[in-house]
Chain A
Amino acid sequence: MSILIAILVLGIIAGVFGALLGFASIRFKVDADPIVDQLDALLPQTQCGQCGYPGCKPYAQAVAEGEAINKCAPGGEDTIKKIADLMGVEVQPLDDSHQHSDTDNSNRPKVAFVIEEDCIGCTKCIQACPVDAIIGAAKQMHTIITDECTGCDLCVAPCPVDCIEMRDLPDTINNWQWDLTSIPVKQLD
């Protein structure tokens, strides 16, 4: 008899909690997949497509669905580390296919530059630019809005006259970083 009561009581408790959990899962349902937005926020938003996806958001989506985390070349190690932290996976080195030959200089920020005398005004680069950072019109010279350029180099390949090249961003006072060789402070006597 006592066994029956125990079964009954536990059964009721299980039922109550089951109902509670079921209700909660409906009532507090999360609509969007927040992990995708979080991942997207970590990515550098160059929209370069080097990961094989047409932009940062699609890659974030893919990572959320189990794609490798080491395909973002512009983000580099830092981004991989952050994604690894967020996804709770091991940090991986950058995908081999994305390693540049000139490794020392590859991760420097770059911007596209139109050699204007060579430009024929074909608008192909304008169509390729993911962030609309190129201005120009058909048969008019094009130029890059340096401030908007993400350095994705997607405009380089479509150019029929090879008049676009990637250049290092010049060092200015605004992006200069301190180094430790400046003055040390010392007790004077």
Chain B
Amino acid sequence: MVESIIERINSGRFWDFHGGIHPPEQKTLTSDKPIKQLNLPKQLIIPLQQHIGREGELLVKVGEQVLKGQALTLSTNPMVVPIHAPTSGVISAIKQSVIAHPSGLSQLCVFLDVDGQDTWRKRNVCSDIKQLSNHEIIEKIADAGISGMGGAGFPTHIKANSKPDINFLIINGVECEPYITSDDLIMTEQSDAIIEGIHILDRLLKPAFILIAIEDNKPRAIKAIQKAVDGVEKIKVCVIPTKYPAGGEKQLIQVLTGQEIPSGSLPIHSGIVMHNVATCFAINDAVRHDIPLIRRVVTVTGQALEKPQNVWALLGTPIKFLLEQCGAKPMVNEQKQPVIMGGPMMGFCVSSDLVPIIKTSNCILVPSKKEMPSAFDTQSKETECIRCGQCSDVCPSNLLPQELQWSAKAKDYEQLEKLNLSDCIDCGACAYVCPSQIPLVHYYRIAKAEIRQQQQLDLKAEKAKQRFEARKLRLEKEKRARQEKNKKAAAARKAAMNKKTPEANEAKSAVAAALARVKAKKAAGNLANAKPQVEKVADNVIDTGSDEKSQVAAAIARAKAKRQLKADSTQNSTVDNSEVNHASQSVETASHSATDDKKAKIAAAIAKAKAKKQHQHSESPGNETSPANTANITKKSQREETPTLNDKKAKIAAAVAKAKAKKAKQKQEHTHADNPVIEAKAKFTDTEVISSNDEPVMANEIKPVKTKSIAQANDKINDKVSAPRDKKAKIAAAIAKAKAKKKSKEAANSHKKSSDNPLTKQPDESI
């Protein structure tokens, strides 16, 4: 198949692609003048990104002196192409500046103040490229920052990397767009260098054939290239008929080989690689002479210029400088003279004359008003589509421009994709032929940009969704982990408790002891009597704690303590109640002695009896009280006072109760006089109660202590008050009674059972 293609090419016959137009070429403005070498401009503005891909990492700082050819950025990625200083000078600024883009937006640029010396960095000129390996050559191409110079600006080192089974390497010297002659001139003037570059590519790609395509409107270039090729069998110079846009990649492939590259596919998949002639020149420069891509041929043309010409422009040269060099009329910018970067078909108006030349800029077009009136119009002359169908006749990609236009206006992006908008090469042929002057390509460009943006948004939305889901999952996981951890910790605690290690037992017993203590304290709060006992119990618990069966022991101890407490409290309360009730009731109920309640009467009697006895005792010399009485007093006082009762407390209590005692005494005297019979009975009962009181162990134990303490308290009171002894005794009794009253209330509340107790019934029986 390759052979049949070559045969056909040799016979000078080519294929044709669909559509295409023949606009006025306007190439004669510049094609017959040699490429002009320009003076150095004062300042260069070098954008960091001049190709398709991403910008590299900056290597220079503001104020740094750079030499010609020195790299300004570093490539960190195959899609990143470095940039170089086009001449020597000082970096004056690195800032945002307007770049060669239809948007007129700014991008980061390196501002280089040219010093005029034009001193090269150290160059590593290679005399014999045969000594270089393919890898080294590709590295040199990459380091030289070469990207496609035809327009798209794809990094060349990627396209030059060897791939198997390349049938055709096509060198594109078609240059089909009107006005532009830069490739024509470089082929004419630098044909040998271009052929050298082609040989380097030949070595890298190893294609079956190399086709150099040149349109038949460039006779001088064809002659020069044919001469330079010098009959090398592998290289065919193909002179193809002029038709716009024959220079489009897919169109040129179709013209040369008859193959149509499918939509969405790349030429490489069909075994075809295409490079621009200017790129071949740059490759030769880079590999042989170690000259990075720092200059290019730019066609500065248009009838508004006095001297339209092709020039060697350093990358970064502001358009303004080029226009001045080519004789732009001074009023150019005041008239709002449009300056078009690129050709008339595919170029765009630049927004500022400070826009610099970049690697892909091949033409600056400054048309006069007569030449291109539409460029001066501020208002569009667009009218409705008349469905003439001329646009689809000329479309080189076989699309339906009018349908695309409607869908683009309606923003129906789905339909646009169905109509293969992505295959549109923006050639502008449809807009060129449109009788309604519809700027079709612009609608497509907008639609393409919007589709691209929508795709980016979709991608971002998808990413956001994933991140949201991931976050939700993570939060849930964390929550679960937390719960599990808590559960585990609880289980571990339980397990540690149940293990029969000494530590665990200790811990257990400590807990048990603490529990016991807490209970004891509570009990002690209610009943001071119980406290020593409980403490003992608690002590026992702690003592037995280290025991293996400490838990059981503790439990038992606790149970015992509880039982004892209960017993104590009931006993105490019964005693207390029987006594206290009597004492208090004697105060409360004695006044109305005719109470129906038997119990009340008895109680009153007992109280009276006690009061009388106390009275008598206090009258007798010294503190000698009957044992029964002492016991009574002791118990009464004990209720409030802790075992460690001190004198101070007793003193205070005594002082407080003094006033009360007086009142109480008066009442006692009253009752005493009223109920002599009951009094006698009470005496008997009293003794009974006391005898029964002897039974509880606790009470017995505490009795002596209490007696002592009370005695001491009494002594103190004696000393302090220095009142008559009977009075003192009375006071003591009063204190006791007052306390008893308080206690009785508590006891009555908490131990209602006491009435069932045999001890309380005793007085009843005694009657």
A102 at the interface (CB under 8 A from B): no
**Could you tell me the distance between the alpha carbons of A189 and B374 in the complex, rounded to whole angstroms?**
12
Do residues B449 and A178 form an inter-chain contact, with CB atoms below 8 A?
Answer: yes
Residue from B373, B450, B462, B468 within 8 A of A47 (CB atoms): B468
Q: A47-B468, A176-B105 are in contact. Are A183 and B23 (CB under 8 A)?
A: no
Residue from A57, A174, A183 within 8 A of B338 (CB atoms): A183
Do residues A184 and B102 form an inter-chain contact, with CB atoms below 8 A?
Answer: no
Residue from B178, B460, B461, B471 within 8 A of A130 (CB atoms): B471
Do residues B471 and A131 form an inter-chain contact, with CB atoms below 8 A?
Answer: yes
B483 at the interface (CB under 8 A from A): no
**Could you tell me the distance between the alpha carbons of A72 and B152 in the complex, rounded to whole angstroms?**
40
B441 at the interface (CB under 8 A from A): yes
A-B contact pairs, 18 of them (CB 8 A): A55-B468, A56-B468, A130-B471, A131-B467, A148-B463, A171-B103, A173-B101, A174-B456, A176-B449, A183-B338, A183-B347, A184-B442, A186-B375, A187-B23, A188-B23, A188-B178, A188-B371, A188-B372
Please indicate the chain B residues that have their CB under 8 angstroms from the CB of A186 in the complex: 372-375
Do residues B462 and A45 form an inter-chain contact, with CB atoms below 8 A?
Answer: yes
**Could you tell me the distance between the alpha carbons of A111 and B373 in the complex, rounded to whole angstroms?**
43
CB of B143, distance to nearest CB on chain A (Å):
25
Residue from A148, A175, A180 within 8 A of B467 (CB atoms): A148
Do residues B445 and A46 form an inter-chain contact, with CB atoms below 8 A?
Answer: no
Do residues B467 and A183 form an inter-chain contact, with CB atoms below 8 A?
Answer: no
Instruction: With CB as the reference atom, state the residue of chain B lying closest to A180.
Output: B442
Interface size on B, residues (CB 8 A): 49
CB of A107, distance to nearest CB on chain B (Å):
13
A133 at the interface (CB under 8 A from B): yes
**Could you tell me the distance between the alpha carbons of A53 and B104 in the complex, rounded to whole angstroms?**
41
Do residues B375 and A183 form an inter-chain contact, with CB atoms below 8 A?
Answer: yes
CB of A165, distance to nearest CB on chain B (Å):
20
Do residues B449 and A132 form an inter-chain contact, with CB atoms below 8 A?
Answer: no
Do residues A150 and B464 form an inter-chain contact, with CB atoms below 8 A?
Answer: yes
**Could you tell me the distance between the alpha carbons of A174 and B53 in the complex, rounded to whole angstroms?**
11
Residue from A131, A174, A183 within 8 A of B468 (CB atoms): A131
A-B CB proximity, top 8 nearest: A186-B374, A45-B461, A131-B467, A176-B103, A178-B445, A45-B464, A45-B465, A184-B374
Residue interface bits B22-36, CB-to-A below 8 A is 1, else 0: 011010000000000
Please indicate the chain B residues that have their CB under 8 angstroms from the CB of A185 in the complex: 344-345, 374, 428, 431-432, 439, 441
B446 at the interface (CB under 8 A from A): yes
Please indicate the chain A residues that have their CB under 8 angstroms from the CB of B345 in the complex: 185
Q: A46-B464, A131-B471 are in contact. Are A180 and B105 (CB under 8 A)?
A: no
**Could you tell me the distance between the alpha carbons of A150 and B380 in the complex, rounded to whole angstroms?**
38
**Could you tell me the distance between the alpha carbons of A171 and B371 in the complex, rounded to whole angstroms?**
34
Query: Which of B347-390 touch A at CB < 8 Å?
Result: 347-349, 371-375, 377, 380
Do residues B442 and A173 form an inter-chain contact, with CB atoms below 8 A?
Answer: no
Do residues A183 and B465 form an inter-chain contact, with CB atoms below 8 A?
Answer: no
CB of A69, distance to nearest CB on chain B (Å):
18
Do residues B464 and A131 form an inter-chain contact, with CB atoms below 8 A?
Answer: yes
B498 at the interface (CB under 8 A from A): no
Interface size on A, residues (CB 8 A): 34
**Could you tell me the distance between the alpha carbons of A146 and B103 in the complex, rounded to whole angstroms?**
23
Do residues A175 and B468 form an inter-chain contact, with CB atoms below 8 A?
Answer: no
A-B contact count (CB 8 A): 106
Do residues B348 and A177 form an inter-chain contact, with CB atoms below 8 A?
Answer: no
B391 at the interface (CB under 8 A from A): no
Residue interface bits A151-189, CB-to-B below 8 A is 1, else 0: 000000000000000000001111111111011111111
**Could you tell me the distance between the alpha carbons of A57 and B441 in the complex, rounded to whole angstroms?**
39
CB of B448, distance to nearest CB on chain A (Å):
8
Please indicate the chain A residues that have their CB under 8 angstroms from the CB of B23 in the complex: 187-188
Please indicate the chain B residues that have their CB under 8 angstroms from the CB of A175 in the complex: 453, 456
**Could you tell me the distance between the alpha carbons of A47 and B462 in the complex, rounded to whole angstroms?**
11
A44 at the interface (CB under 8 A from B): yes
Q: A185-B345, A185-B431 are in contact. Are A173 and B470 (CB under 8 A)?
A: no
Residue from A47, A178, A179, A184 within 8 A of B375 (CB atoms): A184
Q: A178-B442, A185-B344 are in contact. Are A47 and B464 (CB under 8 A)?
A: yes
**Could you tell me the distance between the alpha carbons of A43 and B348 in the complex, rounded to whole angstroms?**
36
**Could you tell me the distance between the alpha carbons of A185 and B453 in the complex, rounded to whole angstroms?**
26
Instruction: With CB as the reference atom, state the residue of chain B lying closest to A78.
Output: B411
Residue interface bits B574-589, CB-to-A below 8 A is 1, else 0: 0000000000000000
Do residues B24 and A188 form an inter-chain contact, with CB atoms below 8 A?
Answer: yes
Please indicate the chain B residues that have their CB under 8 angstroms from the CB of A177 in the complex: 446, 449-450, 453
Chain B CB within 10 Å, residue with most, of A45, A171, A176, A183: A183
B340 at the interface (CB under 8 A from A): yes
B325 at the interface (CB under 8 A from A): no
CB of A145, distance to nearest CB on chain B (Å):
10
CB of A131, distance to nearest CB on chain B (Å):
4
Please indicate the chain A residues that have their CB under 8 angstroms from the CB of B441 in the complex: 185
Instruction: With CB as the reference atom, state the residue of chain B lying closest to A150.
Output: B464
Residue interface bits A14-40, CB-to-B below 8 A is 1, else 0: 000000000000000000000000001
Q: A177-B453, A180-B380 are in contact. Are A130 and B468 (CB under 8 A)?
A: yes
B107 at the interface (CB under 8 A from A): yes
Please indicate the chain A residues that have their CB under 8 angstroms from the CB of B432 in the complex: 185, 187
**Could you tell me the distance between the alpha carbons of A134 and B110 in the complex, rounded to whole angstroms?**
32
8 extra interface residue pairs, beta carbon distance < 8 Å, beyond A184-B377, A185-B374, A188-B26: A44-B461, A47-B468, A131-B467, A148-B463, A171-B103, A182-B102, A183-B338, A185-B344
CB of A8, distance to nearest CB on chain B (Å):
53
Do residues A173 and B446 form an inter-chain contact, with CB atoms below 8 A?
Answer: no
**Could you tell me the distance between the alpha carbons of A188 and B614 in the complex, rounded to whole angstroms?**
141
Please indicate the chain B residues that have their CB under 8 angstroms from the CB of A130 in the complex: 468, 471
Do residues A173 and B107 form an inter-chain contact, with CB atoms below 8 A?
Answer: yes
**Could you tell me the distance between the alpha carbons of A45 and B467 in the complex, rounded to whole angstroms?**
10
Please indicate the chain A residues that have their CB under 8 angstroms from the CB of B344 in the complex: 185, 188
Residue interface bits A52-64, CB-to-B below 8 A is 1, else 0: 0001110000000
Do residues B465 and A56 form an inter-chain contact, with CB atoms below 8 A?
Answer: yes
**Could you tell me the distance between the alpha carbons of A131 and B462 in the complex, rounded to whole angstroms?**
11
Instruction: With CB as the reference atom, state the residue of chain A lying closest to B381.
Output: A184
Please indicate the chain A residues that have their CB under 8 angstroms from the CB of B470 in the complex: 132
**Could you tell me the distance between the alpha carbons of A67 and B409 in the complex, rounded to whole angstroms?**
32
Instruction: With CB as the reference atom, state the residue of chain A lying closest to B26.
Output: A188
Query: Which of B414-431 touch A at CB < 8 Å?
Result: 428, 431
Q: A182-B349, A186-B372, A188-B24 are in contact. Are A133 and B456 (CB under 8 A)?
A: no
Instruction: With CB as the reference atom, state the residue of chain B lying closest to A175.
Output: B453
CB of A172, distance to nearest CB on chain B (Å):
7
**Could you tell me the distance between the alpha carbons of A175 and B107 in the complex, rounded to whole angstroms?**
13
CB of A164, distance to nearest CB on chain B (Å):
18
Instruction: With CB as the reference atom, state the residue of chain A lying closest to B443.
Output: A180
CB of B746, distance to nearest CB on chain A (Å):
55
**Could you tell me the distance between the alpha carbons of A133 and B450 in the complex, rounded to whole angstroms?**
26
Q: A178-B446, A184-B375 are in contact. Are A133 and B467 (CB under 8 A)?
A: yes
Please indicate the chain B residues that have their CB under 8 angstroms from the CB of A150 in the complex: 460, 464
Do residues A182 and B348 form an inter-chain contact, with CB atoms below 8 A?
Answer: yes
Chain B CB within 10 Å, residue with most, of A46, A173, A176, A185: A185
CB of A169, distance to nearest CB on chain B (Å):
11
Query: Which of A42-98 touch B at CB < 8 Å?
Result: 43-47, 55-57
**Could you tell me the distance between the alpha carbons of A132 and B449 in the complex, rounded to whole angstroms?**
29
**Could you tell me the distance between the alpha carbons of A133 and B470 in the complex, rounded to whole angstroms?**
12
Instruction: With CB as the reference atom, state the residue of chain A lying closest to B346.
Output: A185
Instruction: With CB as the reference atom, state the residue of chain B lying closest to A54.
Output: B472
CB of B629, distance to nearest CB on chain A (Å):
74
Residue interface bits A138-154, CB-to-B below 8 A is 1, else 0: 00000000011010000
Do residues A172 and B105 form an inter-chain contact, with CB atoms below 8 A?
Answer: yes
**Could you tell me the distance between the alpha carbons of A55 and B471 in the complex, rounded to whole angstroms?**
12
CB of B22, distance to nearest CB on chain A (Å):
11
